[in-house]
Amino acid sequence: MTLLTSTRLTGKVAIVSGSTQGIGADIARGLVAAGARVLVLGLGAADGEAVAAPLGDAAHFVETDITDDSQIDRAIETALQAFGRLDVLVNNACTYVDAGLASTREQWARTLDVNLVSAAIFAQKAAPHMPPGGVIVNMASTGGKFGAANRALYPASKAALIQFTRNLAVTLAPAGIRAVTVSPAWTWSPSMEQLAQGSIETADRIGKPFHPLGRVGRGHEVAQAVAFLCSDEASWISGCDVPVDGGFSSLGPDQGISPRDWFSRLA
């Protein structure tokens, strides 16, 4: 993993939910590399400390269940006490449980609570503490923009998060606070590592046809995009979705290959 260091976020303070592993941990590291101080949130003290400790005084871990409003309040208060301000909120925590059409009402309620409602409540509670120039990044997904057989909960929650963020951006604009979503495509993470049996080469090979850049993404690439969006360099970007997907969303079902080529392959 290669993190580009910069000073674009020097003086900024960020909260990153779901940052004890995977892309969330990469985002926390990326924000620190860009000069921010970061509150790492998630479940599992050992995992959280493993992310925060190497970052030194620039990071602090608080074990947090984002479906509990009082724990969200505690996290915000901790950031203010530890670092003196709050400029950035990255809503990254999510659940991937998805039984598609067979999902129960309880599973629907749980997924929407974690992936959508908790992000909305965190934004509601964090925004009053953010100065003009503050930024809320909601982590969406290409899964929220395209159909996928035998899935329902995760895509629906991410699609809703994209729409909520548009509304959030307009609502918070008078306060000078921006809101965006970031939608990664296939990205190397614990879930993909499990699917690929630990081989990033396998993940790249299987993901190649769906990503014009010919591989799956790396967490640090997502992190660097988030760091840019949180900086003053992105001060005119709000209310939109930013695909960080290696070109995934530029392809249609034909994978970007013309009918002529498909017919020649299959003839």
How far apart CA 35 and CA 11 sit, in angstroms, is 7
Beta bridge partners, 41, equal: 62
- Whether the pTM exceeds 0.75: the reply is yes
Closest CA to 31 of 64, 55, 49, 66: 55
As annotated, the active-site residues are 154
Helices (H), the chain: 22-33, 45-52, 69-83, 105-112, 118-126, 153-172, 190-195, 200-207, 219-229, 259-266
CA atoms within 13 A on the CB side of 7: 0
Residues 184, 248: Cα–Cα separation, whole Å: 9
Inter-residue contact 186 to 174 (CB < 8 Å): no
Closest C-alpha to 92, from 8, 16, 9: 16
pLDDT, position 133 = 98
CA-wise closest residue to 34 among 172, 189, 228, 178:
228
Under 8 Å CB-to-CB from 107, ≥6 apart: which residues? 97, 99, 153
13-266: CATH superfamily = NAD(P)-binding Rossmann-like Domain (3.40.50.720)
pLDDT score of 4: 75
End-to-end CA distance of the chain: 43
CB 180 within 8 A of CB 240: yes
Spell out the per-residue pLDDT of the chain, length 267, in tens: 567 788 999 999 999 999 999 999 999 999 999 999 999 999 999 999 999 999 999 999 999 999 999 999 999 999 999 999 999 999 999 999 999 999 999 999 999 999 999 999 999 999 999 999 999 999 999 999 998 889 999 999 999 999 999 999 999 999 999 999 999 999 999 988 998 999 999 999 999 999 999 999 999 999 999 999 999 999 999 999 999 999 999 998 778 777 778 778 775
